[in-house]
Chain A
């Protein structure tokens, strides 16, 4: 992805030099032309087109903001309930993410979403230990949310 991005910037630079006008709009036109060239020659790259990864990252950000809002509403309802009948627990979540940055991203996302906080990442980085605030009704729901997060992180990191 970094290579394609650099190539695109380089083509934009070459375009600026060829048209001898060094303005932002020329640069943007050069970027678009470079994108077109990269799309045309896409079968020579081993990875996906980088715009799909940018799109996946954008979708992940949208998902994250949605979950953050939902999590705050659920914590609000929990706190303002007159009788506090919550069931906190610590459970293990197996993960098959590999890179360090993916695991960091996943645990940050989990920490900021409904009723869960990452307590401990196991030494082999295969298991995340998560403290959940009210597990009775959310255990399965949370697992599905984790799957959606993990899936979209994989979507971003897939070559």
Chain B
């Protein structure tokens, strides 16, 4: 079984994003970038399926500028067999990404596509679902457990109020939640080996997808600042303040 794992290069999750002074966007110059944490989990799950003998090949794919090849190399170092870079300088929306990925799904025909449930920059939580729609596949979103059987996959999903398990016919699309697994670190020998693994570059324009923007970014602003609070001495003072000053209890 072939598994396709789309990944995204994003701001490192420890970095606090700063808004540009002209309010046009978030400032990403000289900011540490990394693989989106949910995508790391997706790669890890695919590698585990390979180690369990369920998957035969793991293909990592990313869409973005040249620099995103760094994240593909990371995926290869973690155990992916080959990588595909869809190169574009444009800032794409989820729908564009899903359409481009649908072309790769057509080309590679993976039985399972595993994506992160959301990227920590745009926080959209859309791409996996859109890809499932465009490829007419079943979707198992926010997965905390994935069990592949012959011809089907059982996905335990993290939903409000608990867990829901669904069974999908293969081929299918799965998106990862945080508790699906704990991603491994790439070892130095594996990082060296990854440099020799195949990485195919495809120009986004060559895939015949209309990449015209559907959403216009009007402005980006700092969120409302919270006013600095006070430190109370003890519990009695805290309760007193909550009762008389804040009037919330």
Genuine A/B complex: no
**Residue positions of B touching A, CB distance < 8 A:** none
Interface residues of A (CB under 8 A from B): none
